[in-house]
Homo-oligomer: A and B are copies of this chain.
Amino acid sequence: MRNLTLLTDLYQLTMLNGYFEKNIHEDIVVFDMFFRKNACNSGYTIVCGIEQFVDYINNIHFSDDDLKYLKSLNLFSDKFLIFLKDFKFTGDIYAVEEGTIMFPNEPVLTVKAPLYQAQLIETALLTIVNFQSLIATKASRVCFAAQGDPVLEFGLRRAQGPDAGTYGARAAVIGGCNATANVLAGKLFDIPLIGTQAHSWVQKFDTELEAFEAYADIYPDKCLLLVDTYNVLNSGLPNAIKVFKKLKENDYKPLGIRLDSGDLQYLSKECKKVLDKEGFGDVSITASNDLDEYTISSLKSDGAAINSWGVGTKLITSADSPSLGGVYKLAASFKGDIIEPKIKLSEDPEKINNPGYKKVVRIYNESHKAEADLIMLHNEVIDESKPLTVFHPIYNWKAKTFINYKIKELHKPLFINGECKHEHKSVMEIRDYVKDELNTLWEGYRRLSNPQTYKVDLSDDLWNLKNEMIDSKKFL
């Protein structure tokens, strides 16, 4: 496993050294990871990457080589560097289960640990979880647009480096994709692979027909042919049909054709007509070429005869919204057993963090649809036998009372006293869980453009605490 201990911002280490010098490094603090806006302008965000974050925590250590490098920076005391030699995470981490749907301002993950440990891990946590959550969410949107057709992840060559292509493929499958072309991702995460041939295969042979025949000869039961190297309707498709007929004579079932350029709507319809006429109406027509949820939606509503979608660049980079702005903020500091809540002010009320040691509760109706979430202080309890009224945290005249409801606490322990409590789940299991999660959402939250805003409210106690703290600061 790679040592990502130095995958951090320098200021984390200058602060650690400072905390150490001031002898406050062992103070127990609480940090929350949350995001202020959903990924991909979506109505929700799928939390993804928890497994890789757990691997990172389990593997944190400063190697001799790391320490030698840090010493060379002339920023840290020798005493501090010796202290780092024995660095080990000993705190608690609570997080939502990987694949959980979350909403803005909710703690996705809460760290309660000695200050120096909680501070160090910020950057890697954000790097890992921001990216995979972004891609899982993007993939769920693309799959939503494909209305149940298979969606294939093809983006590795345009991914932002090897990890982006590989962890991105993992996240894409978790978000709903059926397979990836990335062999390394297939191996690492045991996810289905897909791939046939490229234009270079077709070009290498003297004629397109020879290229198709050679492919069918080697993969008679996996024959999906790329038909746009020279000209789809005058060359690729007729050649494919010749090969399909031979396969059929030998009792093989051809898989279909792939279009990778041109007017996909027109070409797919024309191909479908010919395929139907020639008795191959049941083969797949796969399309690729700069697709995303919007182009797929548009092709679908224009009646394109495509039933399998290869999605590359725009999925693996989340091209129209290529980052999730997850942040990690100090929420509390313990003085002995006393919790001292912490706040960061801002002229923008939406940017003021929720102070204190907290948890998140989801409220479901009788048909298990999610109705609202409540951010609460860690020790608050809801009596499910009584009606529950929730308020909007800023526009608090917006209120709603629930009578028949069930609640679920979303945080589970990932680490307790440094001991890993995380249970490994396979990618395909997490993918199933995401499907269940998405089923708890009303359709309006899944809309690709202008989705409904899900209710995330604060408990009375948290709301009061926050407002007292804001009032007590005289700066605004």
Residues of A within 8 A of B (CB): 2, 4, 6-15, 17-19, 21-22, 24, 27, 29, 31, 66, 69-70, 73, 75, 115, 119, 122-124, 126-128, 130-132, 134, 154, 156-168, 181-184, 186-187, 193-201, 203-204, 214-215, 217-219, 222, 229-231, 234-235, 261-262, 313, 317-319, 322-326, 329-330, 333, 342-347, 351, 473, 475-476
A243 to chain B, nearest CB (A): 14
Q: By the criterion CB–CB under 8 Å, are B7 and A162 in contact?
A: yes
Give Cα A354 to B267, complex, Å: 26
- A sample of 25 cross-chain residue pairs with beta-carbon separation below 8 angstroms, ordered by A number, consists of A6-B184, A7-B156, A7-B162, A7-B183, A8-B184, A12-B198, A15-B197, A18-B197, A18-B218, A22-B218, A69-B186, A115-B204, A122-B198, A124-B162, A127-B157, A128-B161, A157-B326, A158-B325, A160-B161, A199-B330, A200-B329, A203-B343, A204-B333, A229-B344, A234-B475
Name the one of B7, B75, B329, B333 contacting A166, with C-beta atoms under 8 angstroms. Answer: B7
Q: By the criterion CB–CB under 8 Å, are A14 and B196 in contact?
A: yes
Give Cα A7 to B22, complex, Å: 46
Q: By the criterion CB–CB under 8 Å, are B4 and A184 in contact?
A: yes
User: Whose C-beta in chain B lies nearest to the C-beta of A226?
Assistant: B11
Residues of B near A323 (CB, < 8 A) are 158, 160, 313, 317, 319
Residues of B near A124 (CB, < 8 A) are 162
Give Cα A203 to B12, complex, Å: 14
Most buried by B among A17, A24, A344: A344
Q: By the criterion CB–CB under 8 Å, are B157 and A123 in contact?
A: yes
Name the one of B168, B261, B344 contacting A161, with C-beta atoms under 8 angstroms. Answer: B168
User: Whose C-beta in chain B lies nearest to the C-beta of A210?
Assistant: B22
User: Whose C-beta in chain B lies nearest to the C-beta of A161?
Assistant: B163
Residues of B near A166 (CB, < 8 A) are 7
Give Cα A193 to B14, complex, Å: 11
User: Whose C-beta in chain B lies nearest to the C-beta of A317?
Assistant: B322
Q: By the criterion CB–CB under 8 Å, are B158 and A160 in contact?
A: no
User: Whose C-beta in chain B lies nearest to the C-beta of A206?
Assistant: B340
Name the one of B6, B187, B317 contacting A6, with C-beta atoms under 8 angstroms. Answer: B187
Residues of B near A167 (CB, < 8 A) are 161
The 5 closest A-B pairs by CB, nearest first: A10-B195, A231-B475, A11-B195, A161-B163, A163-B163
Given A186-B10, A333-B204, A128-B162 contact (CB < 8 Å) = yes
A192 to chain B, nearest CB (A): 10
Give Cα A313 to B159, complex, Å: 16
Given A165-B7, A214-B22, A215-B18, A346-B160 contact (CB < 8 Å) = no
Give Cα A326 to B156, complex, Å: 12
Q: By the criterion CB–CB under 8 Å, are A231 and B162 in contact?
A: no
Give Cα A158 to B125, complex, Å: 10
Residues of B near A24 (CB, < 8 A) are 204
Q: By the criterion CB–CB under 8 Å, are B10 and A194 in contact?
A: yes
User: Whose C-beta in chain B lies nearest to the C-beta of A180?
Assistant: B10
Q: By the criterion CB–CB under 8 Å, are B184 and A158 in contact?
A: no
Residues of B near A194 (CB, < 8 A) are 10
Give Cα A238 to B301, complex, Å: 60
Give Cα A21 to B215, complex, Å: 10
A325 to chain B, nearest CB (A): 7
Q: By the criterion CB–CB under 8 Å, are A7 and B161 in contact?
A: no
User: Whose C-beta in chain B lies nearest to the C-beta of A202?
Assistant: B344
Q: By the criterion CB–CB under 8 Å, are A9 and B160 in contact?
A: no
User: Whose C-beta in chain B lies nearest to the C-beta of A476?
Assistant: B231
Residues of B near A73 (CB, < 8 A) are 186, 193
Give Cα A165 to B7, complex, Å: 9
Residues of B near A322 (CB, < 8 A) are 160, 317-319, 322
Give Cα A193 to B8, complex, Å: 11
Give Cα A41 to B8, complex, Å: 31
Most buried by B among A66, A126, A183: A183
